[in-house]
Amino acid sequence: MTQILDPKVALKVQKAIRQAEDDLVIAIETALDNCEYEAEGKDKLEESQFNNLLRVANTTDSAEVIKNFICYQVGRDKKWGRGQNSLAAQIIRDINIALNNKANQIVAENLGSSKYTKYIWIQLIRRYIGYGSRYLKYLNEVKGKANSSVVDPRNAEGSREQVEPNSKYGK
């Protein structure tokens, strides 16, 4: 695994990655709240599938390998959804666009980090997927259970919606 050898650059980059965490959490929660995937029934997307994706992300320095694994999962079953509105497609779009742009922004704001763009991108991807695993665990636990929800779902723009107590999240 690639690491930043210059301690000053490493500290700046790690700080910038930590500062990006809110955006990562909002992006994956928005995807899970708004995209199409199997959320109920015997074929629902479980945390174990997200954990498998996280294991792949933690064992590679390649965003392409991670996206390839997502495509493999889509080919195996419908848990991740299929088509442009699917969770799988949104995760791949987030990796390609939002996380790549954030990595490039971190590089632009931190002198001396330009040769670590790929490393920064992979770190963002790993955190994004990890936060997704956590949020999916929450969603799978609270859906359909009376008064279990502690947060409202995010709308497509990433803001929290106000949900009635007896809605699908607040039953």
Quick one: pLDDT band at residue 99, thresholds 50, 70, 90?
A: very high
Residue 155 neighbours by CB under 8 Å, 6+ apart: 30, 33, 34, 161
pLDDT tens-place string over residues 102-142: 999 999 998 888 899 999 999 999 999 999 999 999 999 98
DSSP 161: P
Residue 59 neighbours by CB under 8 Å, 6+ apart: none
- The mean pLDDT value for 22-31 works out to 97
pLDDT tens-place string over residues 73-87: 999 999 999 999 999
Residue 6 neighbours by CB under 8 Å, 6+ apart: 112
H or E stretch at 153: none
Residue-wise DSSP of 67-116? HHHHHHHHHH-STT--STTBHHHHHHHIIIIIIHHHHHHHHHHSTT-GGG
pLDDT at 165: 55
Q: Is 112 exposed, middle or buried (0-12, 13-18, 19+ CB in 10 A)?
A: middle
Quick one: pLDDT band at residue 18, thresholds 50, 70, 90?
A: very high
Residue 168 pLDDT greater than 60, yes or no: no
Alpha-carbon distance 81 to 58, whole Å?
23
